[in-house]
């Protein structure tokens, strides 16, 4: 199984918000090789700048931590950005959320999201946390 992490669920984990233990379970499965975990470079950018506002040290630490779990960065290659643009054009999502959805679609993976109502109607397999 493949999963794509949206920024919100990773923040839930790092900020110990409701659902953090569920996200930790997915991250542990990635680390143990039971599933594959991915995150769009756009979502990594979003995560980094949010954490960097608090502390550059924390931002670097959390990025390293994600890599140590085995979460793989998915870069924007070729025309893959067009899928995110199409999703953004059709739905009221942030650009980062559109890239998360496009990445999940591209990889045929489940998209792990928070309680974002904006994902309603997006043709991707979501798991709400």
| CATH assignment at residue 93 | 3.40.50.1010
Structure confidence at residue 10 (pLDDT): 97
> Which residues form the domain of 53?
2-128
Structure confidence at residue 15 (pLDDT): 92
Interval 33-90: pLDDT, tens = 999 999 999 999 999 999 999 999 999 999 999 999 999 999 998 888 999 999 999 9
Structure confidence at residue 74 (pLDDT): 97
Q: What are phi and psi of 123, to 5 degrees?
A: -80, 75
User: What average pLDDT score do residues 6-18 get?
Assistant: 95
pLDDT surpasses 80 at 116: no
Helix (H) or strand (E) run with residue 53 in it = helix 41-54
Q: How many domains is the chain partitioned into structurally?
A: 1
Confidence of residue 25 (pLDDT cuts 50, 70, 90): very high
Q: What is the DSSP secondary-structure string of 16-27? A: T-TTHHHHHHHH
Structure confidence at residue 120 (pLDDT): 82
pTM: 0.94
Q: Which of 59, 122, 125, 63 is nearest to 94 (CA)?
A: 122
For the CA atoms of 53, 20, 103, 36, what is the dihedral angle to 10 degrees? 120
């Amino acid at each position: 199984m493949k999963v794509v992490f949206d920024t919100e669920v990773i923040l839930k984990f790092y900020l110990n918000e409701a659902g953090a233990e569920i996200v930790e379970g997915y991250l542990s499965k990635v680390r143990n090789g039971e599933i594959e975990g991915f995150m769009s470079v756009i979502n990594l950018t979003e995560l980094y700048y949010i954490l960097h506002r608090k502390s550059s040290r924390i931002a670097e630490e959390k990025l390293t931590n994600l890599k140590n779990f085995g979460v793989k960065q998915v870069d924007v290659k070729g025309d893959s950005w067009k899928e995110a643009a199409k999703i953004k054009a059709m739905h009221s999502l942030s650009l980062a959320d559109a890239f998360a959805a496009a990445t999940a679609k591209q990889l045929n993976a489940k998209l792990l999201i928070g309680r974002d109502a904006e994902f309603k109607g997006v043709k991707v397999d979501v798991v709400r946390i």
